[in-house]
Structure 1
Amino acid sequence: MKKKKSMLPSKICPVCGLPFSWRKKWEKNWEEVRYCSERCRRKKSLKKSEV
């Protein structure tokens, strides 16, 4: 039985501040996922250097 997207776990991206939902490709490492996209993952170092 498929789950509704609204029932999936979600997190807030620390870079852009937007919520993102669980994805099948993150199934094995959902606990380690921090960023919603590669773009935000790359921007994390820029944000640290600005501070």
Structure 2
Amino acid sequence: MPDKKQSNANFKGNKSYLPSKPCVACGKEMAWRKAWEKNWESVKYCSEACRRQAKSHQF
């Protein structure tokens, strides 16, 4: 029987293998999402609330 820890490392849904980066508004770590596949380089905010917060603080 295979080791359970070893089989978890090969699980395709394991998000620890995906790229991540911090939100520029709150600093929360964002994991890559399929919806961001084509524009991952331009993603800056983890949520719409952070986007609105950042825009309201611009001078």
User: TM tier, shorter chain?
Assistant: 0.7 to 0.9
Q: How many residues in Structure 1 have an aligned counterpart in Structure 2?
A: 49
Stretches of structure 1 lacking an aligned partner (at least 5 in a row): none
**TM-score, with normalisation over the residues of structure 1?**
0.80
Once superposed, which parts of structure 1, at least 4 consecutive aligned residues long, lie more than 4 Å away?
A: none
**TM-score, with normalisation over the residues of structure 2?**
0.71
Corresponding residue for residue 33 of structure 1: 43
**Superposition RMSD in Å:** 1.5
CA shift digits 1:1-51 (9 cap, x unpaired): 7252001000101111111100010011101101011111111122334xx
Indicate the structure whose relative CO is greater, using CA pairs within 8 Å and at least 6 residues apart: 1
Rg (Cα) greater in structure: 2
- 1:45 and 2:55 are equivalent in the alignment: yes
Stretches of structure 2 lacking an aligned partner (at least 5 in a row): 1-10
